[in-house]
Structure formats: structure tokens, C-alpha cells
Amino acid sequence: MEFDAIYQGLITGEEKLALVGLGYVGMPLAVEFAKHVPVIGFDINEKRVNEYANGIDATNEVGEAIKNTTVEFTSDASRLKESKFLIVAVPTPVNPDNTPDLRPIEGASRTVGQNLTPGSIVVFESTVYPGVTEDICIPIIERESGLKCGEDWKIGYSPERINPGDCVHTLTNIRKIVSGMDEESAREIQKIYNIVIKAGTFPVSTIKTAEAVKVIENSQRDINIAFMNEVAMICDRMNIDTDEVLAGMNTKWNALGFRPGLVGGHCIGVDPYYLTSAAEALGYHSQIILNGRKVNDSMGAFVADAAIRQMIEAGKAPKKATVVILGITFKENCPDTRNSKVVDIINRLREYDIQPVVTDPWADAEVAKQVYNVDLVPFDAIPKADCVIVAVGHGEFRALSLMQLRELFKGELSNDERVLIDVKSLYRMDELKASGLRFWRL
């Protein structure tokens, strides 16, 4: 088999590259590769495929580029037979007990196996714990295809590093980790990714190493944010402004610049569980990573409790109060609601029989209802509030002046009865004090 001829075939247009999974990771990758080589974009979600084919990008990751892309979008898995280089980018969530949910990646492996042709290279981008690609994906693909890995086809791993909603750190200028099962596959995989990755690739010696890089880099970030969240809880008890403390700390050259916040999304809130689950299977129980997760998973309830405490101090009966939450996505300027920790605020308030009104200009109302049972309300239709929780730093919310925020409250309330919860510290302390509002920020 001439595995080292795939790159040349792609460049000349004789071969096609296939993307399996067209979400926040796969779709931008497909569009970028299609600027240079023929690309088939496959997803089992027919609605999503039809939207892409009609020039609609629900992820907002490529914008207008979707209208002119040459990607052949399809939900017909048999089209994968036309490709000799297949990239798998499907989600890897966790189960309710925080154990890895490998069903999407197992399903994608079956699909790939059923449509694999001899001489192909398969590269997984989905975040997994070390060992999944070789111990779980290879056997499924071999069984479904009847083809032997290493002889009839080869495999590699290159973890995704896309940061949804980030206009600076984009696909092409984030250095890419690449790996293959042997030197031949590693070289070919690196050459193919170098077609689109301007920042260059960083080859590592084994697939397991590449898998470890991904879960460890996100676990590191999770732990650092957990420390900041713990600091925020301590400062709250000491009646010190966390933001001012961090501003002072960050004047030192070796400060890391992390901030407290709600840690959700498909990566940082999930990947540490993949790492600790794999460690647990080998007899090591995490001392730091799981405790960091525990802190970060508690922050939604902490914010909700702070809102309730502020309302009580303002003389309100929280159960009768109108609470408005601005934002439900897991991060600002991004429509992604996966593993959103704003939902933890909502659920905590519901425990107290408070039914908050939620608005978000970026989120998909259908998804919010289906996944979280939250009815999103347009911003201009939200009722006048007793308490406003600014949960996500969307540009639209950052642009609101405190005078405009005041207009969101019930007119008959005194300033001290208007409770503003600024989760992201969007507003300056001097402005908050001058507004007269009763405010709290993380």
C-alpha cells in the first residue's frame, strides 16, 4: 500500500479528504481544507447538513465563507468510500456520573469501518483519554471493514484545539499536535495538516502521547480557573473585591492572568473527567484534578445563592421576585450551549421555586428548550426585573451602559432594591458604585 501518496493525490485533486462530524470542530476544518483540496463533509444530522449546503452556518465559526465553500456536504455515509484521508471530529461528552461517553466516537468508528477502502489513513480529532484511539476505535473499524490496521489502512490522532467564538486564535494559527501509528503515517498526516495550519504542526512520538497532550492542557486550565474560583469565594466572605485583587496580582510579571467564572463547554468542563477516569482504571485516584472539577462545578449554585442572599438583604421574597438572566451559552459571542454552567444557576434558582426569565441573542431557542427545558425570551420582551444576573459576556451585554441596565428593573423599586449580579465583572467598580444599584460580582 502506498500510504505516502495520499498527500500528492489531494494536492492534484485526484483524492478527496473526508470530515466525519460537522460541528464546531469539523465544519471549520472542512471549509479550510476545501480552499486547497477536494473535501467531503459528512454528518448524520441531516438538518445541519442541509443548512450548510444552503449557506447557513449555525455554529457561526466560518460566517460568510460557508456560502462559497466547495465542501460537498452529505449525510450519505457511503460517500466516505471516495476518500483516502478521513478525519473524525465527533463530540466526546460525559455521562451523568461524569464517566466518558464514548458512544459518538464508537458510532463514528462503525461508520468509518463500513465505508473504509484499502490504502486509507484515518485521523481522530475528538478529545479522548490516552488509549481510546488504539484500544477502542481500531478494533471497531477492523471489525466493520474486514481490513487490518497497519497493513490495509493506518491511523493517527491530532487533537482539536479550536476555541469557539475566538476571532484571534483561529484554526490556521493554532499550532497542531500530530501523531501516527508509525513513521510513515505520521509523516503523511503532518504533511496534510500543514496544507492548512499556518502556525505549523508539532509531531509527537505516539498516538497516546497526542491524546494525553489534549486532556492535560485542558485539565491544567481547569485547575487554574478552579483556584481563581476558590479565591473568589474566599474574597466574598472577606468582603473584598476579587477583581481588584486580581488586577493587583496581575501587575507581577509571572502572574498567570486566570479569572474566576463558570467553566462549561465541550472541553474544559469535560476533558479532566476523561483524564481522571483513565487514571482511576490504572489505580490512581486524582488528588487535584477532581477537586478542581468539584469547585468549578459548584460555581453556578454559588452565584445563584449570592443572588438570593442579595434579594433577601434588599427586603424581597425571592420566590415572588422576577429574576432575569442575560446569557445561557457556555462562553461569550458564541452560540454553543453545550455543558453550559449558566444552567446550574437556573436549576439552583428553580430549587427555590424561582422561575428565571432567560434571554440570549446568540443561543438557539430550540436547543435551549430541548436540552435544558429553558424558554428563551427575546431581549426586548423580557419583563421588568427585581434581580438581573449578567451571566455571559456577550458583546451585546458589554455594550449596555449602567443606565440601560437600570431600565431593566421595575420602575417602582428604589436603587437598593434593584439587585445586579455581575458574574463576569463586565462593569467597572466606580460605575457600579455611582449607579446606586445593589450589586454583587464574582
Specify whether 149 is catalytic. no
Catalytic residue among 137, 235, 267, 387: 267
CB 389 within 8 A of CB 409: no
Q: What are phi and psi of 127, to 5 degrees?
A: -75, 125
Concatenating the DSSP letter of every residue in 14-54 gives SSEEEEE--STTHHHHHHHHTTTS-EEEE-S-HHHHHHHHT
CA neighbor of 337 nearest in space, from 44, 59, 21, 101: 59
Cα angle for residues 328, 331, 332 (degrees, 5° grid): 95
Distances (CA, A) of 10 to 84, 116, 179, 193: 9, 17, 19, 12
Q: Give the three cell numbers for residue 384.
A: 421588568
CA 245 to chain centre: 28
C-beta of residue 234 within 8 angstroms of C-beta of residue 293 = no
Assess contact for 75 and 46: CB atoms under 8 A. Answer: yes
Of the CA atoms within 13 Å of residue 336, those in its CB half-sphere come to 22
Task: List, by residue number, the catalytic residues.
Answer: 267
